[in-house]
């Protein structure tokens, strides 16, 4: 969800105002996604790298996150949305983590959509943590070396129930992965938008969906209607 700081700077505002305005976009996008039948939505809210930002900004972001969780609890319940956090959640301030866990528990029965907030998240860190857990199981004799497979790693990621994403959207013109879902995104489609996140609304989400539905997804295979190399040379 890129562009909060640039949006604030463009309006002569402090960066926090951009983050605050960005929560309006979160609400609109989450509600639209649930309405349109999206089963799983993951928002990259705070990366492990973000801890290196100025302490005052990090503290303000944690306060904003806690307020957001409390404020949106009823909206999530009303819309049948289950909330889950993924990442190194133990790094969050205890009051924020307690609030997150409370909202997770309250919304756990939601069946319409699962909303995941990536918090203190990093794709490399997720893979590292999964491999550590697997190594511990191998050392303990719970897993044999020949049983170390992709599935064995995948089931030890932060949320083993999260399916691989079909679509990843980047706002504010950014065109890099930025350590997001590195394992899961191996065959995701990417859509880029120049819209700054505080201005990103459901019409922009719809545009991204329309572009996505125009893609042909092969997953490394040759489709039946695609001429083979042999056929082309003949």
State the catalytic residues: 2, 50
Give CA–CA dist 32/26, Å, rounded.
10
Nearest of 218, 154, 205 to residue 182 by alpha carbon: 154
DSSP H/E element including 148: none
Is-contact 18 8, C-beta < 8 A?
A: yes
Q: Is 114 exposed, middle or buried (0-12, 13-18, 19+ CB in 10 A)?
A: buried
Give CA–CA dist 13/71, Å, rounded.
24
Measured CA angle at 202 (ends 96, 81), to 5 deg: 45
Is-contact 210 17, C-beta < 8 A?
A: no
Cβ neighbours of 198 (radius 10 Å): 26
């Amino acid at each position: 969800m890129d562009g909060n700081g640039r949006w604030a700077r463009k309006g002569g505002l402090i960066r926090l105002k951009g983050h605050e305005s960005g929560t309006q976009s979160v609400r609109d996008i989450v509600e639209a996604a649930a309405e349109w039948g999206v089963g799983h939505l993951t928002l990259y809210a705070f990366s492990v790298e973000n801890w290196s930002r100025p302490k005052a900004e990090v503290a303000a972001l944690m306060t904003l996150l806690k307020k957001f969780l409390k404020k949106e609890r009823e909206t999530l319940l009303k819309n049948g949305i289950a909330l889950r956090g993924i990442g190194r959640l133990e790094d969050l301030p205890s009051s924020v983590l307690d609030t997150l866990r409370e909202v997770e528990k309250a919304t756990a029965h939601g069946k319409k959509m699962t909303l995941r907030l990536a918090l203190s998240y990093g794709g490399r860190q997720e893979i590292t943590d999964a491999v550590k857990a697997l190594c511990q199981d191998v050392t303990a004799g719970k897993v044999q070396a020949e049983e170390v497979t992709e599935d064995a790693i995948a089931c030890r990621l932060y949320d083993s129930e999260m399916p691989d994403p079909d679509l990843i959207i980047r706002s504010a013109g950014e065109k890099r992965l930025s350590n997001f879902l590195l394992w899961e995104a191996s065959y995701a489609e990417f859509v880029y938008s120049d819209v700054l996140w505080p201005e990103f609304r459901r019409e922009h989400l719809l545009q991204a969906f329309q572009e996505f539905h125009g893609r042909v997804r092969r997953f490394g295979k040759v489709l039946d209607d695609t001429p083979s190399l042999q056929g082309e040379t003949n």
